Structure 1
Amino acid sequence: MKSTRDYHWPEPIVRVQSLSDSGICTIPTKYVKPLNDRPCLSNFSDVNIPTIDLEGMNNCKEISEACRDWGFFQVVNHGVPPELMDEARQVWREFFHQPMDVKQSYGNTPKTYEGYGSRLGVEKDAILDWSDYYFLHYLPAYLKDYNKWPALPSSLREVMEEYSKQVVNFGGRLMKILSENLGLNEDVLQNAFGGEDIGACLRVNFYPKCPQPDLTLGLSPHSDPGGMTILLPDKHVAGLQVRRNANWITVKPASHAFIVNIGDQIQILSNAIYKSVEHRVMVNSTEERISLAFFYNPKSDLMIEPVKELLTTHNISPLYPPRTFDQYRLYIRTKGPQGKSQLGESNKSNPQHDKCN
């Protein structure tokens, strides 16, 4: 297995969008998941993750319960203008429909993942996901390089600068609520992330049409290794599934809502009071899908461990050893999405009990 220090992918990169556009009827074998890992495309129920009105009277309590019980929730009335959310989705959809030579000029490497990509992990002969993506940095400021942000469509950089600023502000508001819900001062979690010196980055996921969506996934099961993810889902096409005990719950996005999920770093800081939860993405045979995952992360070289004040107050022992976010991030960049193994936890599905809802 190559290290990410080699800065090269183990095999030639194939763009999934190109495969889809070629009109193939059968997907290549390297995208076919093992039988027990394939999605269930039927029998969906009305179960959904909690939806929370940030202007509501009980939103703090509802967020606390969602973080402890689900690890996921939707937020409406969050303060980010709906028209800005629509513009953000649209400029990225336009980017993915640029000519291939335009997109290829932003092709990424395992060094930082920044740019146009089609795989995670550097393990040779890995089973791949049916998706392309674009990854870019926003914070810290010294990592933000506009030359790596697409120049086309021409409005993309301006739209994404404003969108990123608004989402970071929203993330800061949530961090205060999460901290207070643990019985801590509102700035404790934010300070553990580095105060104003946080990390923030964006992964735009593009899931092309797939002729055999029952055999593959757009993104394999994983928990997010960072702090908190603020997802702008596709406006029309569902695909995100969240693990709930032995079930996979298909998320039904509310109009102009953000889907928020707890990442591994907040699970560590809260000593597992808040849970990061496995999720995955299905693909579609008739419609492409796009989503924008904004990662609100700790400063990468800070030591992350359970908050000492929390341990003392509840007289409990730490469940996790100190480790930097960089160490967690390196794990998933090397191996790709593999459940919650970066936390030393195994949530591998039981083929006898794993269900879709």
Structure 2
Amino acid sequence: MDSNNGWPEPIIPVQSLSESGTETIPERYIKPPSDRPGTELTKSSPLSIPVIDLSAMSIEEMARAVSDACSEWGFFQVVNHGVRPELMRHAQQVWRGFFHLPIEEKQRYANSPATYEGYGSRLGVEKGIRLDWGDYYFLHVLPPCLKSHEKWPALPHALRDTTDEYSRELINLCERIMEAMSIGLGLDPTRLQDSFGGRADVGACLRVNYYPKCPQPELTLGLSSHSDPGGMTVLLADDSVKGLQVRRGSDWVTIDPVRDAFIINVGDQIQVLSNAMYKSVEHRVMANATDERLSMAFFYNPKADLPLSPIRELVTLDRPVLYTPMTFNEYRLFIRRKGPRGKSQVESLKTSCH
């Protein structure tokens, strides 16, 4: 492997660029005019994604609320979800501590395009692509054969144990949400989970995103527009600095995170399994001139080598099969090659008759 760890060009952490005091961003981070955030940096929207209180509902009420949110928005926030706020804040604290370590310590975990596991600053592998203004750390939680503490940061000292506990809590939450999603589709409570390969074979991973201050936020994005390629995402956002935007028709809606809430969104694999009754939605992250921002995206995914296609109970004469089968392993290779590209991948799976 070359000195770039398999990447086509030298990797420069965005945090290093930010801390250098530069007043202009390198050309490779400047987005085409059609993709720049423009006035959305300051424009507020009267629209907001649904907020669901999980403590105040029966499973049937929860299923209706989750189903409506997945069908209408593809995004929702959950409060009173059972994960301790102290754990959530501590997880953010230890990971912020990691990104504030000396660069030499972080570079010990520099990643490669082969697995993306570790410390990185770009997603797409193609040479010459436009880059996003953000660094990240990606790690595997499930299946057990992929999880390795040796690939997780040793510093701060509490990071590994905290991330373990946090991940266990989020797996439990994902299982509850999957059950509600399944009931909301008119299926047995375990049907969607079974279509993922069952509880024993799912995949789960965590990407901690760090968005440093940017001298020209109007020219770039922290993370380009995309829909998530996996099953479901549970995001712990920075509730003090807004940045996440969700596409709503031709507009972008800025999400206002509720304190101690999780933001949950449908991934492409659930759109496929639900035959588009639930929809993954494009979203992106703004850069910020005055504040750094950290978010933690927990991805709950189907078994990697299991071919996925619409669940047969959701296929009717009025709603025929919309997608051709593909495994998650095959699917995510597209993202790894090209980086975030809107919803072009899931749309490419649609059967020729549609």
- TM tier, smaller: over 0.9
Q: Does residue 239 in structure 1 map to residue 214 in structure 2?
A: no
Q: Look up the match of 2:52.
A: 52
State the 1:199 CA deviation: 0.2
Long gaps (5+) in structure 1: 1-5, 347-357
- How far is the alpha carbon of 1:46 from its aligned partner? 3.1
- Find the counterpart in structure 2 of residue 14 from structure 1: 12
Q: Which runs of 5+ in 2 are unaligned?
A: 350-354
Give, as a single letter, the amino acid of the residue that structure 1 aligns with 2:263.
I
More deviation in 40-49 or 179-188?
40-49
CA contact (8 A) 1:7 1:111 kept: no
Equivalent position to 2:261, from 257, 278, 282:
257
Q: From 289, 297, 309, give the equivalent of 2:293.
A: 289
Q: Is 1:166 aligned to 2:173, yes or no?
A: no
Does the 8 Å contact 2:5/2:111 carry over to 1? no
**Mapping of residues 132-281 of structure 1, within 5 Å:** 132-196=135-199, 197-281=201-285
CA distance in 1, matches of 2:16, 2:293: 15
The separation in 2 between residues aligned to 1:38 and 1:154, in whole angstroms, is: 39
Q: Give, in whole Å, the separation in 2 of the partners of 1:46 and 1:24.
A: 35
2:41 is aligned to 41
- Find the residue that maps to 1:55 and give its secondary structure: helix
Query: What is the CA-CA distance between 1:345 and the residue it aligns to?
Result: 5.6
TM norm structure 2: 0.94
Separation of aligned partners in 2, 1:316 and 1:45: 34
Question: Residue deviations 1:78-123, cap 9 Å, x none?
Answer: 1000000001100000000000000000000000000000001111
1:48 positional shift: 1.2
Could you say what secondary structure the match of 2:136 adopts? strand
Size of the aligned set, in residue pairs, is 340
The answer on 1:61 being equivalent to 2:59 is: no
Aligned residues of 1:68 and 1:274 also touching (Cα < 8 A): yes
Find the aligned partners of 1:272 and 1:126 in 2 and give their Cα distance.
30
Distance 2:45 2:266 in 1: 24
Q: Which amino acid aligns with 1:213?
A: P
SS in 2 for 1:92: helix
Separation (CA, whole Å) in 1 of partners of 2:294 and 2:49: 20
Q: Runs of at least 4 residues of structure 1 off by over 4 A?
A: none
Q: Give the residue type in structure 2 aligned to 1:11.
A: E
CA distance in 2, matches of 1:253, 1:266: 24
Partner of 1:3 in structure 2? Answer: none
Q: How far 1:277 sits from its partner (Å)?
A: 0.2
Q: Which amino acid aligns with 2:224?
A: S
What residue in structure 2 maps to residue 328 of structure 1?
A: 331
Q: Report the equivalent of 1:107.
A: 110
How many angstroms does 1:309 deviate by?
A: 1.8
Equivalent residue for 2:129?
Answer: 126
In 2, distance between residues paired with 1:103 and 1:46?
40
Provide closer, same or farther for how the CA distance between residues 52 and 307 of structure 1 changes in structure 2, counting only shifts above 3 A. same
Give the superposition deviation at 1:47.
1.8
The one-letter code sitting in structure 2 at the alignment partner of 1:181 is G
Rounded Cα–Cα distance in structure 1 between residues aligned with 2:45 and 2:178: 31
Task: After superposition, give the CA deviation of every residue in 1:198-219 in whole Å (9 maximum; x if it has no partner).
Answer: 0000000000000000000000
Q: Give the C-alpha shift of residue 136 in structure 1.
A: 0.1
- Deviation per CA, 1:6-51: give whole Å up to 9, x if none: 9711100010000000000000011000111100312212321111
CA 1:330/1:170 → structure 2, altered by over 3 Å: closer, same or farther? same
- The root-mean-square deviation of aligned C-alpha atoms, in Å, is 1.3
